Structure 1
Amino acid sequence: MSEFKQTFNSSLGKKLIMALTGLFLCTFLIVHLSGNLALFKHDNGQAFNAYANFMTHFPPIRVISYILYLTILLHTIYAIVLTIRNRRARPISYVSGNDSPQAWSAKNMGILGSILFLFIVIHMKDFWFKYHKDDWSAKGAYTIPFKEYKTNLVTGEQISARDLPPGDYEYAVYNEGSVETMIAKDLNQTVEVAFKQWWYVLFYVIAMVTLSLHLLHGFQSAFHTMGWIHRKYKPIIYFIGTWLFAVIIPVGFAAMPVVYYFFR
């Protein structure tokens, strides 16, 4: 047990924890973006609101979400510890002639991580906390309103989408003949209000640029730390790290506030 503790207290052990938690967070980004793509549907937020309810009420997902919160904290804490230790070991930064984005991000992971952590805190306050606040407050004191959707099951077309007056509602889906009715918290409305503020959109886009630079180095670095780099697979890892995690995912997230601000 002491050897196990000693291993994870070493610099290599801390880097290993950073690598494992980082790759877990990369997996979460794929899932999160996949679900958030429902925001692009022109259905008055029905698909997104159904997705939000599933992600917050399905028991296995809720368990994974708590693991996610712990992972974010561990990744942040160990990043701070390693950054401080590296600066103490090298008080004078080395001179490098490589000005590529990857080299720059490698030398500034602490700054990039700090910006991302600030973004996560604000993001969770504005969406996660508001969505869950009703669970802790008195009945009827809803922060996020409920919306009722009616869909024709034969044609698949949405018949209506109306805001419900304040009241004691719960998520529900039921059928009346060929008409399906869904009642859900309208988190889409919260998203729309947030993304109509230019400064919030700008902050969101800057955070996604930061995420891109962070992942440009972090994804590949995680495989190096765990020794999973082989010359045969190295180009594949670099390709995935660059195009999927440093380009496609950040652009996908950044497109959401931009689309809502200019086209919704």
Structure 2
Amino acid sequence: MSWITNFFSSSIGRKVIMSLTGLFLITFLIVHLVGNLQLIAGDQGEAFNQYAYFMTTNPLIKFVSIGLYVMILLHAVLGLVIYLKNKTAKGIKPTARNKADVKWASKNMALLGTLILFFLIVHMGDFWFKMKFTDTIPLVTYDGWEPIKNLYEQVTITFDNPLFVVSYVFSMLVLGFHLWHGFGSGFQTLGLNHSKYNKLIDGIGKLLAVVLPIGYAIIPLYYYFVMR
């Protein structure tokens, strides 16, 4: 087990794990967005409520969720460790593809990550925690289904609050900046740094950094300006 300890305690080991967990979380963001877009399906929440029920009761999903929570925790903790190590090391700065590539997002990944983590805690408290551990969400019945929690109604109530909508959209902007640098940096850390495909990786990263935040931000904006 000593090699595992050495790997986790080494600078390159921490960065590799940081990259792998980050890429996994990006995959989750894509899947989660596809599910959340059912909120604007125009069916009074039937598809979304059934999706939410499946995601919170399916045994396989529950098992995968444990891995997701571990990934989030690892990514956050290692991000903080790397930031503190870089801050205390004399003359050592975070690596980038080249000096000109060290832009605002890459220099402020710790700040961006902290804001995202804070949003995630609030977000999970509003939806995930209430869905799994409380009885505050009313039940709804659909043909062929037993009564299930009406998470759609909770979303509607939450997105009726302008402060929440503004904070949600702002958080998605922060996520965009985080992805803008993080996607390409993750591949670079894993050794995928070559002129043949650097532009492709950067392009995919920037596409995700734009599409994912916009996709998520559309939902509260739609509820606040269209559904009210």
Q: Which has the larger radius of gyration?
A: 1
Cα offset, 1:119, TM superposition: 0.3
Cα offset, 1:133, TM superposition: 1.7
Q: Distance in 2 between matches of 1:4 and 1:51?
A: 38
State TM-score, norm by structure 2. Answer: 0.92
- In the TM superposition, 1:49-198 aligns within 5 A as 49-90=49-90, 103-134=103-134, 142-150=135-143, 174=144, 183-198=147-162
8 Å CA contact 1:133, 1:143 repeated in 2: no
**Larger proportion of helix:** 2
Asked if 1:246 is matched to 2:209, the reply is yes
8 Å CA contact 1:212, 1:247 repeated in 2: yes
Asked if 1:218 is matched to 2:211, the reply is no
Q: Distance in 2 between matches of 1:71 and 1:3?
A: 20
Aligned with 2:147: secondary structure? strand
Q: State the aligned residue count.
A: 223
* Residues 246, 37 of structure 1: alpha-carbon distance in 2 compared, 3 angstrom cutoff: same
Aligned amino acid, residue 250 of structure 1: P
Aligned with 1:149: secondary structure? coil
Q: Distance in 1 between matches of 2:142 and 2:61?
A: 25
Partner in structure 2 of residue 137 of structure 1 = none
Aligned amino acid, residue 141 of structure 2: E
Structure number with the bigger relative contact order (C-alpha 8 A, sep ≥ 6) is 2
Aligned amino acid, residue 207 of structure 1: S
8 Å CA contact 1:19, 1:223 repeated in 2: yes
Structure 1 gap segments, 5+ residues each: 135-141, 151-173, 175-180
* Residues 76, 51 of structure 1: alpha-carbon distance in 2 compared, 3 angstrom cutoff: same
Asked if 1:261 is matched to 2:224, the reply is yes
Q: Distance in 2 between matches of 1:71 and 1:225?
A: 17
8 Å CA contact 2:86, 2:93 repeated in 1: no
Cα offset, 1:2, TM superposition: 2.1
State TM-score, norm by structure 1. Answer: 0.80
**Larger proportion of strand:** 1
8 Å CA contact 1:105, 1:217 repeated in 2: yes
Aligned with 1:223: secondary structure? helix
Partner in structure 2 of residue 157 of structure 1 = none
Q: Distance in 1 between matches of 2:93 and 2:15?
A: 20
CA offsets per residue over residues 36-91 of structure 1, 9 Å max, x none? 01001111100000000111111111111111011111100011111011000148
